[in-house]
Amino acid sequence: MLVGDSSYQTVWMEGHSVKMIDQNALPFNFQIHECLSYWDTCMAITDMTVRGAGAIGAAAAFAMAQAFLEAPETDRELFLNDARDEIEGTRPTARNLFFAVERVFEAGQISTENAKIEAQRIALQDIEDCKSIGEYGNKLIKNHARILTHCNAGWLAFVDYGSALSPIYVAKKQGKEVFVYVDETRPRSQGAKLTAWELMQEGVPFTIIVDSVAASLMMEQKIDMVIVGADRIARNGDVANKIGTLDRAILAQSFGIPFYVAAPTTTFDMDCKSGKSIIIEERSQDEVLYQDGLDANGNTIKIMVCAPGSTAYNPAFDVTPAKYITGIITEKGIVKAHHQSIASFLKTTEDE
């Protein structure tokens, strides 16, 4: 990805440090956050300095590698098991985090160097997968398409390229005219803050809508397709994604609009029978009660946006049943959101 004239990844490891684009500072400030220890990296995942399924996965992989670098000679195993629990305890919903930690933990049983190599491999794989999602997804995008997306499943949510936005970037590079409706995505406004900023870097035309506008836009036939990301996909094709995805999917179906999920196959959790067993993260009510932004002088401020004394319920994700999903765009091709199709798709592509 290019920010200005410089090329970046969302998260990377340099020596013992993990570095990342500070997503809490965006879109007002572009700055790099450095995590000197695995614990720092855990904090950055928890407070969403780094966020988005693939970026969290890579950050967690790097955190596990950092833990191997930090592990003392004595009680090494205990230290590493505790570190693994702490990294896995940062955020519960995104599948990539758990898959990445497990792979680096296993690799580290051979050597610390091996843990580092595995973490880098996971990050590189994420980049390749997202690039390929772009190629497959682009085939679904017609010239002049008006696309709705929810939350941020762009390059900020991965190491590079993104999932839901990657096909849009490929379509644009191929000369297609595309227009993106960006759901604001309350409460943290990843759409209004991050997707909007990212699309601006890429020169893709867009406009931000509040989440409740989608229904009328669809009825007015102003949306041709929906593409969203995924945090975890159950083996029956149910998809956990940012809260608000479910209503977009129901709406799309009732207006006959294709609804696609874009995600690397690392997002599938074949141990998870259906969306019912996906753990949905509940975050602080402050994310709903307060908003942050810029004041008239350009200083970042936090303001209360509710009746003082109110409480708020803040689930971060919802589950979209498979029956609402037209198809899942992966790095290996497009698969129907159905348990048999997913099982045979994953088996065939694994054998290739």
Where are the strands (E) in 15-117, listed by range? 17-21, 32-35
**Partner residues linked to 268 by β-bridges:** 233
* Contact characters 114-153, ligand MRU, x per CB under 6 A: -------------------------------------xxx
Is 191 near ligand MRU (CB under 6 A)?
no
Cβ(181)–Cβ(207) below 8 Å: yes
Closer residue to ligand MRU in complex, CB, 115/266: 266
Cβ(42)–Cβ(86) below 8 Å: yes
Is 57 near ligand MRU (CB under 6 A)?
no
State the catalytic residue, choosing from 160, 231, 238, 318.
231
Is 51 near ligand MRU (CB under 6 A)?
yes
DSSP per-residue letters across 189-204:
TIIIIIIHHHHHHHT-
Q: How many CB atoms lie within 10 A of CB 10?
A: 28
- Whether 129 is catalytic: no
Closer residue to ligand MRU in complex, CB, 41/241: 241
Is 53 near ligand MRU (CB under 6 A)?
yes
Q: Which residues contact 13 (CB under 8 A, 6 or more apart)?
A: 19, 62, 65, 66, 116, 119, 120, 123
Which residue number is nearest to ligand MRU in terms of Cβ? 229
Closer residue to ligand MRU in complex, CB, 71/130: 130
Kind plus residue range of the DSSP H or E element containing 127: helix 112-138
Size of site (CB under 6 A) for ligand MRU: 16
Is 49 near ligand MRU (CB under 6 A)?
no
Residues of span 201-230 touching ligand MRU by CB under 6 A: 228-230
Is 190 near ligand MRU (CB under 6 A)?
yes
C-alpha angle 167/206/138, rounded to 5°?
15
Cβ(147)–Cβ(141) below 8 Å: yes
The residues that touch ligand MRU, with contacts defined as CB under 6 A, are: 51-53, 151-153, 157, 163, 190, 228-231, 241-242, 316
Q: Which residues are catalytic?
A: 231
